[in-house]
Amino acid sequence: MAAVPVYVYSPEYVALCDSLCKVPKRASMVHSLIEAYALLDQMKIVKPKVASMEEMASFHTDAYLQHLQKVSEEGDDDHPESVEYGLGYDCPATEGIFEYAAAVGGATITAAQCLLDGKCKVAINWPGGWHHAKKDEASGFCYLNDAVLGILRLRQKFDRVLYIDLDLHHGDGVEDAFSFTSKVMTVSLHKFSPGFFPGTGDVTDIGLGKGRYYSVNVPIQDGIQDERYYQICETVLKEVYAVFNPDAVVLQLGADTIAGDPMCSFNMTPEGVGKCLNYVLQWQLATLVLGGGGYNLANTARCWTYLTGVILGRTLSSEIPDHEFFTEYGPDYVLEITPSCRPDRNEPQRIQEIINSIKALCPGRCVTCTDVQASYSYEPDQWHYFKQFCEPGVNSPRKVCTYQEVMEYFHVVAVLWQVSFST
């Protein structure tokens, strides 16, 4: 029975999620399509609990939670202190928003607890995945960071948790929450472009303190399609898995990367995201699956239904079954999504440079003279200083060491010689 995935659901929960003004009725559309494909029969449905104030305060500040509760009760979107807490244009303080946030947070905690209790290997909360919220402010449509709450719950049992974010936007809130620890590694593949929200997540953003090198960011440009995206994802995750050796995984699968999304950025299909999901599932670790962005509601429902089929090992019929929201899937009424003609702006050379940088920056990875040559620009007569460290002695065996050890030495040398990173 442990192999049967857990699907967190209740009618009350979906109704609350439908009230989010940025994605109205999305939760119902996703659930109804999953139900129409008869996938519920193959999962264990678990009713979510509502997160308590104490559970939410395991990450968020008391002051923020109390303010969110206050404006939620009053439906006050013009409270003078709301700007301080990130409430406003992107995150309006509508009536009942606190109850919604507590419901989503509680659902993700419920899914994580099922993994802790050994009830399943995979637990799904599609209405979750709100990855931008900070400890003391709302951000980017996110009022509560349920992904962080889920990771914290998993950490009660699992020593090392890997967070993988495949949303169009950088998972900044989750990265910030764990930027100082080596126990949670965050990996985010996202659009990185001037003026694009949230503006963070360059390849050089790698964490801080004990968490240095435990944040991995893969900046991607517009137009990327399934094949290249999967190649990047597989290469990065293979490296991360080898060096971090996670005990559990949290996977955020925002559908705003899919062709037809109003964000008009990536050019993906559910099949491409499904290949990435399958790569993670083959690790056979405790895996918490969350939703996230996705603003073409029909395509988001298509995507997450398809991914539910991937988790179950089911091939779904192309024709959308008749159900409550059937008319939303016209004019073709099929599950598949066709990529647009948008050009891919990702240059192969730049993608390779990013991957090389990530490989070198993975924590504890052994690097050699060749790795350092790929990371630095230098004059030919300066190379012997680097070589003395990596290969002491002309005929001696190659010396290997961690990237951190190399950097402690080379940053000093780089300053002396005014050497700069080539990337």
Residues serving a catalytic function are: 132
Tell me how long the chain is.
423
Please give the structure tokens belonging to residue 325: 């929201």
Cβ neighbours, 10 Å, residue 404:
14
CB 183 within 8 A of CB 176: no
CB 131 within 8 A of CB 72: no
Burial-class residue 381 by CB neighbours within 10 Å (0-12, 13-18, 19+): exposed
State the Cα angle at 78 between 72 and 82, rounded to 5°. Answer: 70
Return all residues near 277 (Cβ < 8 A) that are at least 6 apart.
251, 253, 289, 307, 310, 311
Return all residues near 302 (Cβ < 8 A) that are at least 6 apart.
33, 270, 329, 335, 336, 337
Phi and psi dihedrals of 73, rounded to 5? -65, -35
Q: For CA atoms 153, 189, 18, 32, give the dihedral sign.
A: negative
State the Cα angle at 277 between 274 and 283, rounded to 5°. Answer: 145
Provide the residue type at 346 as one letter.
Answer: N
Q: Which residues pair with 317 in a beta bridge?
A: none
What's the rounded Cα separation, in Å, for the pair 159 and 156? 8
Cβ neighbours, 10 Å, residue 340:
12
- The pairing of strands 248-252 and 366-367 is unpaired
Rounded to the nearest 10 degrees, what angle do helices 383-390 and 403-417 cross at?
Answer: 160
Q: Which of 6, 13, 1 is nearest to 44 (CA)?
A: 6
What's the rounded Cα separation, in Å, for the pair 86 and 328? 33
Return all residues near 26 (Cβ < 8 A) that are at least 6 apart.
17, 18, 20, 127, 294, 297, 300, 301
